[in-house]
Amino acid sequence: MSKFWFLLTIAAFARYAFAADNGLAITPQMGWNTWNHFGCDISEDTILSAAQAIVNYNLTRFGYEYVIMDDCWHAASRDNASGAPVADSTKFPNGIKDLSDKVHALGLKFGIYSSAGTYTCGGRFGSLGYEGIDAKTYAEWGVDYLKYDNCYNEGRAGTPLISYERYANMSRALNATGRPILYSMCNWGEDGPWNFAPNIANSWRISGDIMDNFDRYDDRCPCTSVIDCKLPGFHCAMARIIDFAAPVGQKAGHGHWNDLDMLEVGNGGMTFDEYVTHFSMWSILKSPLILGNDVTNMTNETLNIITNKAIIDINQDSNGSPANRLWKRSIDGGGDLSLWAGGLANNCYVVALLNTSPSSQTIDIEFSDVFFDQGKQAQSQTYTIYDLWQKDDSGSWGKNLGTVQGSFGNVSVGIHQTKVWRLVPASLPSQRQILDEL
Ligand SMILES: *[C@@H]1O[C@H](CO)[C@@H](O)[C@H](O)[C@H]1NC(C)=O
Ligand SMILES: *[C@@H]1O[C@H](CO)[C@@H](O)[C@H](O)[C@H]1NC(C)=O
Ligand SMILES: *[C@@H]1O[C@H](CO)[C@@H](O)[C@H](O)[C@H]1NC(C)=O
Ligand SMILES: *[C@@H]1O[C@H](CO)[C@@H](O)[C@H](O)[C@H]1NC(C)=O
Ligand SMILES: *[C@@H]1O[C@H](CO)[C@@H](O)[C@H](O)[C@H]1NC(C)=O
Ligand SMILES: *[C@@H]1O[C@H](CO)[C@@H](O)[C@H](O)[C@H]1NC(C)=O
Ligand SMILES: *[C@@H]1O[C@H](CO)[C@@H](O)[C@H](O)[C@H]1NC(C)=O
């Protein structure tokens, strides 16, 4: 191991001590969840078919690892004698332990869902007051991941401390099982989890539920910002969540991430360019990348998006810093143009230009903007630019566009499109290697 990688490893482990302390999600977790496509209509077969498809499509090579069973796996009630959770025996005739064994046998990890309330959002029994026995049972079932929702919380929210205590309870219960279980909090951003959750959870949802739509306003997602939002709701269009995420990037890091919600790529409500925007922005903002489509039946377009290694590498970069929005300009006719940048390992940078307006935009990107934080020296450096949504001659994502200094000009971004570039210092010896290795 080179000295560089050694130091990097130390740095990663030193930082995870501030997270849930389970050593998980050092980079944002990746996987698949039943909810966005199947809702309550799930069974053993839904999960095993998806797991098999993930393997067949080689998605594991890109980092997709967790297969997560969302709401509605439950029996009508808990075990009356012990209080332990029980699964629906019609949908899961062989039980959950058997299911998780089969998922593990495919080389994947298994996730489950519950709510920090008396009921789940789908009206099944919740975990409030049953944290200990639920965590213990999940561990016995071989669960590796818990998505923990916020429905029917009996009013135990309203201040960060009240929410913290309800969610920390399950965090401690998971820890007490001795099994490393990734803890994915889903309290929709209530009471600002970015402030109170970094040392109890691996990720926390920042807003109401995503809707498979680019930017349609819906009153069921009424807040204009997630800071002090009193009704997170649902039907939050994808571009609205990007806007919500912009100010809270500063709170994420190794082992504790802002969760922008599960992906809709492949579910049909957006165009190809809009899904590219969705996947790009979730990646550079270091959201968990949890697929929400039917992975057994994907178009090549969908597959192309979710297997763009150059973009996934940005999400999984060892630096662990979400990109920051440098500016946002309103465009006549609605929507806006925004410039984003973030630091990556090896002194590389990611730069993205997002256009949510209904017309194509062409601009020059100034290094005085991109490297505003880094100062004059970085601003005057020469960089090699890779366009991460173009393939090079060998068919790999990340086309070399040459070197630039001071600015890169005449950049066009189409309607609802996002362009993403990796900037590599031109002084670094083996450029392509950096792209391929990370
Ligand atoms: C439980 O927490 C302790 C310290 O906070 C940590 O060292 C340990 O690895 C955790 N165990 C699990 C299984 O998460
Ligand atoms: C998965 O990888 C194997 C081995 O490299 C290859 O033969 C197969 O075609 C790949 N499958 C897909 C769907 O890309
Ligand atoms: C628990 O008891 C209720 C009625 O009190 C019954 O309807 C339910 O089937 C029982 N559940 C189990 C898992 O035995
Ligand atoms: C968690 O909540 C349960 C039930 O509400 C309670 O009995 C238990 O003491 C709590 N545990 C911790 C560690 O706060
Ligand atoms: C596969 O997806 C297409 C649309 O992309 C749909 O028309 C078809 O019904 C799906 N097939 C199955 C088996 O779900
Ligand atoms: C999808 O891509 C595969 C492999 O590149 C190809 O064989 C297949 O014909 C494509 N399917 C469609 C519908 O374009
Ligand atoms: C800008 O780029 C377009 C194609 O992307 C090209 O046609 C045009 O000549 C370029 N303009 C300048 C000033 O470089």
Is the pTM above the cut of 0.85?
Answer: yes
> What is the reported pLDDT for 437?
54
> Which pLDDT score is estimated for 3?
41
Look up residue 112 and give its two tokens: 């489950």
- Select from 204, 193, 256 the least CA-distant residue to 229: 193
Query: Which among 237, 227, 235, 177 has a CA at the least distance from the CA of 206?
Result: 227
Q: Report which protein residue has its CA nearest ligand 5's atom 7.
A: 297
- Closest protein CA for atom 10 of ligand 4: 169
Which ligand is closest to the CA of 363, given by its number?
Answer: 7
* Residues ≥6 apart with Cβ < 8 Å to 240: 207, 215, 217, 221
Q: Which candidate in 209, 243, 313, 317 is catalytic?
A: 209
* CA-proximal residue: ligand 4, atom 11 (nearest): 169
Q: Whose CA is nearest to atom 13 of ligand 2?
A: 57
Cα(402)–Cα(283) distance, integer angstroms: 24
φ, ψ (nearest 5 deg) of residue 228: 65, 30
Quick check: is 149 catalytic?
yes
Residue of 70, 149, 261, 317 marked catalytic: 149
Measured from the alpha carbon of residue 180, the closest ligand is 1
Whether 171 is in the pocket of ligand 4, judged by its Cβ within 6 Å, is no
**Residues 278-331: pLDDT tens digits?**
999 999 999 999 999 999 999 999 999 999 999 999 999 999 999 999 999 999
Cβ atoms of 16 and 25 within 8 Å: the answer is no
Name, in order, each residue with C-beta under 8 angstroms of 65's C-beta and a sequence gap of 6 or more.
Answer: 29, 30, 31, 108, 109
Question: How high is the pLDDT of residue 11?
Answer: 46
What are 146's strand-pairing partners? 112, 183
In terms of Cβ atoms closer than 10 Å to its own Cβ (0-12, 13-18, 19+), residue 409 is exposed
- In this prediction, the residues of the chain whose per-residue pLDDT falls under 50 are 1-18, 438
259 is catalytic: no
What is the CA(101)–ligand 3 centre distance, in A? 27
The owner of tokens 């593990």 is 104
Residue 317 Cβ inside 6 Å of ligand 4? The answer reads: no
Helix axes of 272-284 and 238-245: crossing angle, nearest 10 degrees: 20
DSSP state of 119: B
Pocket flag, ligand 4, residue 176 (CB < 6 Å):
no
The residues with which 236 forms a beta bridge, in sequence order, are 210
Nearest Cα to Cα of residue 287 among 327, 238, 328, 326: 238
Give the atom of ligand 5 at the shortest distance from the alpha carbon of 297. Answer: 1
Please name the residue whose Cα sits nearest to atom 3 of ligand 2.
58
